[in-house]
């Protein structure tokens, strides 16, 4: 497959916020858990947010994703693998007292263009899934070939990307000492939301798995997808338990 990216050369108006170097790009990616992928469905735009992992090999950035084997994004990417992606982290609010229109957030982001490639090799799929678990939950997991075969794994390869960072500056109307506490409270609230959603998903999946099993549908794509999610969620809950969360 042609590895040429969809576009070469990303221009940036605020060159003062440009982030250069794989080390700085990697630092931004390490802060983030979600990548938004934009694709074209026969002329219509389509965007999906997905959990991701990454590798940086020199100037080549490779992003890894997993999903069900079927779905709209899979159909689109098989027809047109040219994509745009955006990854960002949002920090604390920055309030400008005298010029409210200059208020905003400090943030960091990576924007790029690339080509989506489906991974078929079982060993490479296992390695990509392990990388996803490490990036998303900081857990070292060895996946088996049967587990890898139950899901779709694909990657986006790009040499056409840039980083951007707006650091916190003196224009804030909030005392600097208040930001760490605000950020800690924000992250705690976000974690509580994630934990509640995870608990609900485990209960919902368990019910659907039991129903499919009772109907003799354990070899269906849906059953395998749910079983894979069950393993992932169980490992995440084990991690929380080990840390007393």
Provide the strand spans (E) within the chain: 18-19, 34-41, 44-51, 53-57, 60-67, 82-94, 104-118, 152-166
- 168 and 196 fall within a common domain: no
Q: Give backbone dihedrals phi and psi of 178, rounded to 5 degrees, phi first.
A: -80, -20
Together in a domain, 58 and 129: yes
Distance of CA 194 to the CA centre of its chain: 15
Q: Are residues 88 and 142 in the same domain?
A: yes
* Pair (113, 195) in one structural domain: no
Q: What is the pLDDT of residues 68-83, one digit of tens each?
A: 999 999 999 999 999 9
**Integer angstrom CA distances of residue 41 from 18, 83, 98, 170:** 31, 11, 45, 44
Shared domain check, 220 and 162 = no
Total domains present in the chain: 2
Dist CA 230 CA 201 (whole Å):
9
Lowest mean pLDDT segment, chosen from 65-69, 168-172, 199-203, 219-223: 168-172
Is the pLDDT at 54 greater than 90? The verdict is yes
d(CA 50, CA 135): 13
Q: What is the pLDDT of residues 19-42, one digit of tens each?
A: 766 788 998 999 899 999 999 999
18 and 98 together in one domain: yes
Nearest to 164 by CA among 5, 10, 9: 10
The dihedrals phi and psi of 32, each to the nearest 5 degrees, come to: -115, 155
- pTM here is 0.63
Residue where one domain finishes, among candidates 115, 146, 173: 173
| pLDDT value at residue 182 | 57
Biggest alpha carbon–alpha carbon distance for the chain = 67
115 & 187 share domain: no
* DSSP summary character for residue 139: -
Domain that holds residue 77: 1-173
Judgement on whether residues 63 and 183 belong to the same structural domain of the protein: no
Which of 69-78, 163-172, 189-198, 229-238 is the least confident region?
Answer: 163-172
């Amino acid at each position: 497959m042609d590895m040429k990216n969809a576009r070469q050369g990303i221009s940036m108006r605020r060159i003062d916020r440009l982030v250069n170097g794989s080390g700085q790009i990697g630092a931004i990616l390490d802060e983030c858990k979600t990548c938004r992928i934009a694709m074209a469905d026969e002329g219509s735009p389509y965007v999906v947010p997905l959990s991701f992992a990454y590798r940086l090999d020199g100037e080549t950035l490779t992003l890894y994703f997993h999903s069900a084997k079927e779905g709209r994004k899979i159909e689109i990417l098989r027809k047109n693998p040219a994509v745009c992606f955006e990854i960002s982290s949002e920090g604390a609010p920055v309030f400008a007292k005298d010029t409210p229109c200059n208020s905003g957030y400090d943030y960091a982001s990576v924007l790029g263009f690339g080509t989506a490639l489906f991974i078929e090799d079982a060993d490479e799929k296992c390695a990509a899934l392990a990388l996803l678990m490490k990036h998303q939950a900081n857990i070292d997991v060895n996946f088996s070939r049967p587990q890898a075969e139950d899901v779709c794994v694909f990657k986006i390869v790009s040499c056409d990307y840039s980083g951007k960072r707006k650091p916190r500056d003196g224009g804030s109307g909030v005392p600097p000492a208040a930001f760490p506490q605000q950020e800690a409270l924000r992250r705690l609230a976000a974690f509580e939301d994630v934990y509640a959603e995870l608990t609900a998903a485990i209960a919902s999946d368990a019910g659907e798995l039991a129903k499919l099993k009772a109907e003799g549908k354990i070899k269906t794509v849906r059953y395998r997808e749910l079983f894979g999610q069950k393993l992932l969620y169980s490992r995440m809950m084990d991690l929380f338990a080990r840390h007393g969360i």
